[in-house]
Structure 1
């Protein structure tokens, strides 16, 4: 009697992550963004700002990688740095008018891509998948501590 092979979750997750990155990047290419860049735009509120540290944490990136993304978006005229009115030593990233416009387009694209990714799955199945993905993120955070 043969034993059923257990799913190779980490392998499948790694393949799915690469596929999701490619899908995201191709879905945003015509508006000149990558999925990582749109992630930065999503983390900066339309009104107000966010720190580079908040962007780094929100995307799960090293501070240096977040800084590179921020520099590219700044050079593209999508974000700018402003002094934090609550702490004159700190800098906040804010969206420019062009950044807000591209953010709105990217949000609409992300909603379409998320709909396509969840098509055919019940809301209960989607909740289980989301719970498992968050579990994986939490395991990574626990390993850092």
Structure 2
């Protein structure tokens, strides 16, 4: 029996269900998935430029600025001007942001385990390689990002 090959449909439905589940889990911590991404990124890159976080998380710069505003008002991050370029800003985790980031990371680990349940390491490697290949097959359109700013 051949598996279902409606990949666009399967990806779309799977993404929506996963996103709803993630939002439900993260909202229990008063956190959106976008905010979680910022906390995870800053957990490894504290003091990163807002532009670097935007690029790493594949978020348009204007959306990243608004996200940083909301997270700063929530006490999760602090913004400071970059010493070398006064126009640029860096993001730093607050103690509350570090704590929430650790809790969100534990939740993400549990969700990842659930995603991999029932599949061998070899199967997960294939799926991971395939999903990663989507970034090369469908690159981020830099001109579209400029239009959205």
Shorter chain as denominator, the TM-score bin is 0.7 to 0.9
> Where does the alignment leave 5 or more consecutive residues of structure 2 unmatched?
144-149
- Once the two structures are superposed, the pairs formed by residues 95-134 of structure 1 within 5 Å of their partners are 95-134=93-132
1:16 and 2:14 are equivalent in the alignment: yes
Partner of 2:69: 71
- SS of the aligned residue for 2:43 comes to coil
> Where does the alignment leave 5 or more consecutive residues of structure 1 unmatched?
none
Q: 2:90 aligns with which of 80, 89, 92?
A: 92
The structure 1 segments of at least 4 consecutive aligned residues displaced by more than 2 Å after TM superposition are: 45-48, 83-90, 142-145
1:31 and 2:29 are equivalent in the alignment: yes
CA RMSD, aligned part only?
Answer: 2.1
Report the count of equivalent residues: 142
Alpha carbons of 1:25 and 1:96: their partners in 2 closer, same or farther (altered >3 Å)? same
In the aligned structure 1, how far is the partner of 2:101 from the partner of 2:40?
A: 7
Instruction: Give CA-to-partner distance per residue, 1:25-57, whole Å, 9 cap, x none.
Output: 111111110111100111113673112212211
With the length of structure 2 as denominator, give the TM-score of the two structures. 0.85
